[in-house]
Structure 1
Amino acid sequence: MERVTLRIPKQQIEEVERMVETGEYPNRSEAIRSAVRDMLAEQDTAKERPSEKRKRRTWAKV
């Protein structure tokens, strides 16, 4: 596994921490890996349906 360093707004990290505290994820890293897996699966699904317009993601300004 590769290590990636990234900057995430404090509010989002607090939300991830809450998911860890409630037992939804064992730790922050697994929560973020899960989010990346979901994003990649969503992209793959969009590729399988070329007749549908793929929605462009809008990224929050920090």
Structure 2
Amino acid sequence: MRLVTVKLPKALVEGIDELIKAGFYQSRSAAIRTAVRELLRKELWNNS
């Protein structure tokens, strides 16, 4: 995997942390990977 650095508003980071605390994801990276994958699936991959 490649390292990508992003800046997020505090509210988004807190939301991701809540998902981790609730057991939905093991890490911030895992949550963000899922979010990006879903965005690409919705916006790019299903538009063909």
TM-score (normalizing by structure 1): 0.72
Q: Which has the larger radius of gyration?
A: 1
More helix by share: 2
Residue of structure 2 equivalent to 1:34: 34
Q: Structure 1 residue 11: deviation in Å?
A: 0.5
Q: Which ranges of structure 1 fall in alignment gaps of 5 or more residues?
A: 49-62
Q: Structure 1 residue 16: deviation in Å?
A: 0.2
**Runs of 4+ off more than 6 Å:** none
Counterparts of 1:14-25 in structure 2, within 5 Å, are 14-25=14-25
Q: Which ranges of structure 2 fall in alignment gaps of 5 or more residues?
A: none
* Count of residue pairs the alignment pairs up: 47
TM-score (normalizing by structure 2): 0.91
How big is the alpha-carbon RMSD for the aligned residues of Structure 1 and Structure 2? Answer: 0.7
Counterparts of 1:1-62 in structure 2, within 5 Å, are 1-43=1-43, 44-45=45-46, 47-48=47-48
Q: Structure 1 residue 29: deviation in Å?
A: 0.2
